[in-house]
Amino acid sequence: MKITVEHRDVPENEIVLRCRELDDEMLHVLSLLRSGMQTICGWTEDKQMVFLRPGEVLYAESVDNRTWLYCEDTVRRTALTLAELESRYEALGFCRVSRSMVVNLHGIRQPKSCAGSRIEATMRNGEKVMISRHYGPLLRERLGM
Amino acid sequence: MKQFLRFYYWGMEVKLYMSLYTTALVVFQGITEALQGRFAVNVWIMLEMLLVSFAFAAIQYAVLPAGQWSSKGWLAAWVACANVLYIGGALVFGWFPGVPLWGDIVLIAILEISLWAIWFGEQVACWRDTRALNRSLRKFQQEA
């Protein structure tokens, strides 16, 4: 596939995909572009709506049937359930690590193996997240182990 | 059904460690007997070793369930139980008859080294797995 980047004085950035037909390669590029444009709707404590890029979210946790999104230094609430977060953003690295938690694999700085197939993940902001024995194998599978 | 599965899993774990510990005891009992010119192991002694090993494996499952090997308190409790059960068992049931005092000291030293080796083995397995996890994570993050 030929990739061309043109530098022009345009009012808005634009991406044009030129192809004879939508093959697997182009569909993959499209899905990547679409997922990159996706945002997660959340809100702050004072009910102010914010849109987060999935990459900003380190992990999501469900507490008392409420889902919280943990970013580097902020916590937002979202209406999405953990299952929805996992299914919508799986391609972007979201992975279920316990019954009450979904982790963004790109937000992990360092994983550490613990006895009993459990994994302790240190996130980019230094927080530690424990990946349960039940979900450890799923994480390993996502990492291609 | 859930209770049965839990019991079954408990049985699998306990049986595994019980077998390992019993085998080690029988091997050392056999060595001490052979060194004294006797080439037979008493069936009752083997049964006693099996029962003590079962008790220790069950205690190990209770105090050091999966993932608790790094807890210093429980690790100390595990070491203490091993010493009480195995040294106590050897004294009460007379597992190593005719062994001189220096032989007893060697056997106790082997017990302590074995306990350290079990713990160290767990640590090595974790270190290796951590390295593999980090490698795979970096690859995953770079590929995306």
pLDDT digits (tens, 9 = 90+) for A54-112: 899 999 999 998 999 999 989 999 888 999 999 888 888 999 999 999 999 999 999 99
User: Is the CB of residue A129 less than 8 Å away from at least one CB of chain B?
Assistant: no
User: Taking CA atoms, what residue in A is nearest to B68?
Assistant: A115
Q: Do B140 and A133 touch (CB under 8 A)?
A: no
Locate the DSSP E strands across A27-65.
40-43, 49-52, 59-63
Top pLDDT among B120 and A31 is at B120
Find the CB nearest A143 among B67, B69, B136: B136
ipTM here: 0.71
For residue A11, being part of any structural domain is answered with: no
Indicate the burial class of B5 (C-beta count within 10 angstroms; 0-12, 13-18, 19 or more).
exposed
Interface probe for A, chosen from B60, B72, B133 (most Cβ of A below 10 Å), is B133
- Give every strand in the sheet of A108-114, ordered side by side: A108-114, A118-123, A128-131
The pTM of this model reads 0.67
For residue A80, being part of any structural domain is answered with: yes
For residue A8, being part of any structural domain is answered with: no
Find the CB nearest B67 among A93, A111, A116: A116
Q: Which of A34-48, A96-110, B5-19 has the lowest mean pLDDT?
A: A34-48
Average of per-residue pLDDT values in chain A: 87
User: Is the CB of residue A124 less than 8 Å away from at least one CB of chain B?
Assistant: no
Q: Which domain holds residue A102?
A: 39-142
Q: Which pLDDT belongs to residue B57? A: 94
Find the CB nearest B139 among A93, A140, A144: A144
pLDDT category of residue A50 using cuts at 50, 70 and 90: confident
pLDDT digits (tens, 9 = 90+) for B51-63: 999 999 999 988 8
User: Is the CB of residue A110 less than 8 Å away from at least one CB of chain B?
Assistant: yes
For residue A87, being part of any structural domain is answered with: yes
For residue A95, being part of any structural domain is answered with: yes
User: Is the CB of residue A55 less than 8 Å away from at least one CB of chain B?
Assistant: no
Q: Which pLDDT belongs to residue B6? A: 85
Q: Is the pLDDT of residue B18 over 90?
A: yes
Q: Do B68 and A108 touch (CB under 8 A)?
A: no
Q: Is the pLDDT of residue A4 over 80?
A: yes
Q: Which pLDDT belongs to residue A35? A: 58
CATH number at residue A60: 2.40.50.1020
Which residues have a Cβ under 8 Å from the Cβ of A22 and sit 6 or more positions away? Answer: A30
For residue A1, being part of any structural domain is answered with: no
Q: Do B66 and A118 touch (CB under 8 A)?
A: yes
Q: Which pLDDT belongs to residue A36? A: 59
Average pLDDT over residues B62-69: 71
Q: Which pLDDT belongs to residue A123? A: 95
Find the CB nearest B66 among A92, A111, A115: A115
> B121 to chain A, minimum CA–CA distance in Å?
11
pLDDT category of residue B24 using cuts at 50, 70 and 90: very high
> A17 to chain B, minimum CA–CA distance in Å?
20
For residue A3, being part of any structural domain is answered with: no
Q: Which domain holds residue B105?
A: 2-143
In order, the DSSP letters of B18-62 are HHHHHHHHHHHHHHHHHHTT-----HHHHHHHHHHHHHHHHHHHH
pLDDT category of residue A42 using cuts at 50, 70 and 90: confident
For residue A30, being part of any structural domain is answered with: no
Pairwise CA distance, residues A106 & A125, whole Å = 12
Top pLDDT among A103 and A49 is at A103
Number of domains, chain B: 1
Q: Do B134 and A111 touch (CB under 8 A)?
A: yes
Q: Which of A39-48, B14-23, B110-119, B132-141 has the lowest mean pLDDT?
A: A39-48
Top pLDDT among A115 and A107 is at A107
Place of tokens 């060697």: B106
Number of domains, chain A: 1
